Amino acid sequence: MQLNAEITKLINQEEGLQQDIEKEKLEFENLKQDKENFKEQELANKKTILETEIAELEERKSNLSSIIDEKEKELSKQLDTIKDDIRWKQKSQKELEDAIQNLRREFANKQVEEQEKLKELIQHKKYFDFLSGRDLSTYNVNDETQYLDLRINDEEVKYENYSSFRNQVLDIFARNNRKIEAHFLDNLLISVHQNTLTLLAGLPGTGKTSLAKLLVNTLASPEKIREVSVCRGWTSSKDLVGFFNPLTRRFTPSSTGVYSLLKQLDYECKNNLFSNSTFAYVILDEANLSPLEHYWSIFYNLTDSKVDEKNYFNLDLGGTEHINYTNNLRFIGTINYDQTTEELSPRVIDRANIIRLKPQDFNLDNLMYHDIKKVLLRYKDIQDFFELLDFKSEVNIAFDNEREKVFEDIKAQFKKLNIYISPRVEISIKRYCSVAKNIMHEENKPLDYSIAQRLLPLINVQGTNSKQKLKDLQAMLPEEKFSISANILKDIISLGEEGEIYENQFNYFLTLSHA
């Protein structure tokens, strides 16, 4: 009985403990639930706080975006206003610069006009004094006050390098209906500036004279340009320049204006103005109506010369009249070949670049002559662009190996034709190629132009043997590499094969009347 009572007591204690455990579990679960509820509440509170902060930031962002947009609009309006102001000022500056240029040009022209009137009055006075028996030797014939300072200011220079200069000239040509390829302009500029005399050859109407006028009026001011219409019967330099009159003991200029141009160059030389001035250009229109070697003879010995600081060119015009200048005079002649013209002598051909123009080279239907925009080219820039020999001790003009071989092969073929290539011509070709190879994009164009302009004009042969040798030369000039010279040589051979009056006569200049 006592054992049962203890068992019952233990059972009751166990049940009590079990109840306590259950109670503790319940409390634990309650605490756990309370903890979870607390965390959820805390998270909810934090979420609410974060959402509130985000909303505030979004609102601030929206406000800032609105402010930024307003500022951008305001600044954009200010920028547009500034740009308009800049454009207006640039336009005003351009108008002022143009006005200044026009005023300078008008002033210079007015000076020339007044000086011509003064010269005319002096001339009349001279005749009056001569008739009155007065001593004419007291006249000062070297009055330099009549000549102008035509230096180009740095502000007037519109190019940075040769490429920039060429592109501007191409644009001017295009706006005057002369759309030409860049390599043709390169050739024209190099030829004109490396040679005292350049001849434009072709049929009438191929644009020779208009091309020459457009070129020189682009490069120089009117005071440095003379357009001379050569007349038949010119026999000496007195027809081109003038002569010293022993009766009046002074120089009498011809009507061409070349003398006054030479005096302008003399003035620039004596006053050291030439470096920042343009070249002077003389256009000899219909240059071979009279023999060039007669009326142009005083310039012959200057074609191979160069100047330096101590030795300038000196022209002896007779009597006491001497002209000094710095190799800044260029002649551009236009020639035809027909029964009214004179043949060019070997002396002239040896000294000139002869550029053949074909009828399709220019569109003459829309010929325009208006105030041509200028890209004035200074003497010192011409020296750099075209590697002139003046004021330099030496210039490297050697061919590279490949061109040297081609040139030597061509020389050998000309020798077989009994055509002599002078050292003058060879040096001229090498000088030309030395410059052209750096500015022409086409690799073979420099030598192609040189052959066409310095070698092919030498061709004047007869007979079937010569025809075969010319065909051998033609084989050395594939058209895909030497298109210009190959086409000219083809014309020379074709004309000699016609079987009429020119049968077996192969002459470069005959192609000019059948171009």
Q: Domain containing 205 — which CATH number?
A: 3.40.50.300
Answer whether residue 389 is part of any domain: no
Residue 197 β-bridge partners: 331, 352
Q: What is the mean pLDDT of residues 12-19?
A: 79
203-206: long-range pairs with CB below 8 Å, 24+ = 203/336, 203/359, 203/512, 203/513, 203/515, 204/336, 205/359, 205/364, 206/357, 206/358, 206/359, 206/361, 206/362, 206/515
CA distances from 230 to 235, 238, 276, 296 (A): 11, 13, 31, 11
Answer whether residue 136 is part of any domain: no
**d(Cα 6, Cα 13) in Å, to the nearest integer?**
10
Answer whether residue 474 is part of any domain: yes
> Is residue 288 domain-shared with residue 166, that is, in the same domain?
yes
> Is residue 260 domain-shared with residue 169, that is, in the same domain?
yes
> Is residue 90 domain-shared with residue 31, that is, in the same domain?
yes
Last residue of a domain, one of 60, 90, 109: 109
| Number of separate domains in the chain | 3
Last residue of a domain, one of 51, 83, 109: 109
CA distances from 469 to 420, 455, 472, 473 (A): 15, 15, 5, 6
**d(Cα 292, Cα 239) in Å, to the nearest integer?**
11
> Is residue 90 domain-shared with residue 160, that is, in the same domain?
no
Answer whether residue 382 is part of any domain: no
Answer whether residue 287 is part of any domain: yes
Last residue of a domain, one of 307, 341, 374: 374
**d(Cα 17, Cα 21) in Å, to the nearest integer?**
6
Q: What is the mean pLDDT of residues 235-253?
A: 87
> Is residue 454 domain-shared with residue 511, that is, in the same domain?
yes
> Is residue 159 domain-shared with residue 271, that is, in the same domain?
yes
Given this model, what pLDDT does residue 367 score? 47
> Is residue 158 domain-shared with residue 307, that is, in the same domain?
yes
Given this model, what pLDDT does residue 63 score? 86
Residue 78 buriedness (CB in 10 A; 0-12 / 13-18 / 19+)? exposed
Domain that holds residue 56: 1-109
Weakest-pLDDT range from 2-11, 194-203, 279-288, 400-409: 2-11
pLDDT band at 228 (very low <50, low <70, confident <90, very high): very high
pLDDT band at 130 (very low <50, low <70, confident <90, very high): low
Contact call for residues 249 and 192 (beta carbons, < 8 A) = no
pLDDT band at 190 (very low <50, low <70, confident <90, very high): very high
> Is residue 324 domain-shared with residue 411, that is, in the same domain?
no
> Is residue 366 domain-shared with residue 409, that is, in the same domain?
no
> Is residue 303 domain-shared with residue 192, that is, in the same domain?
yes
Residue 273 has pLDDT above 90, yes or no: yes
pLDDT band at 21 (very low <50, low <70, confident <90, very high): confident
Q: What is the mean pLDDT of residues 490-506?
A: 82
| Mean pLDDT rounded to a whole number for the chain | 86
pLDDT band at 415 (very low <50, low <70, confident <90, very high): very high
> Is residue 332 domain-shared with residue 445, that is, in the same domain?
no
**d(Cα 192, Cα 187) in Å, to the nearest integer?**
8
Q: What is the mean pLDDT of residues 256-279?
A: 93
pTM for this prediction: 0.72
Pick from 27-31, 53-57, 437-441 the range whose average pLDDT is largest: 437-441
Q: What is the mean pLDDT of residues 339-355?
A: 91
Given this model, what pLDDT does residue 60 score? 86
> Is residue 351 domain-shared with residue 480, that is, in the same domain?
no
pLDDT band at 135 (very low <50, low <70, confident <90, very high): low
Residue 416 has pLDDT above 60, yes or no: yes
Answer whether residue 122 is part of any domain: no
Contact call for residues 353 and 191 (beta carbons, < 8 A) = yes
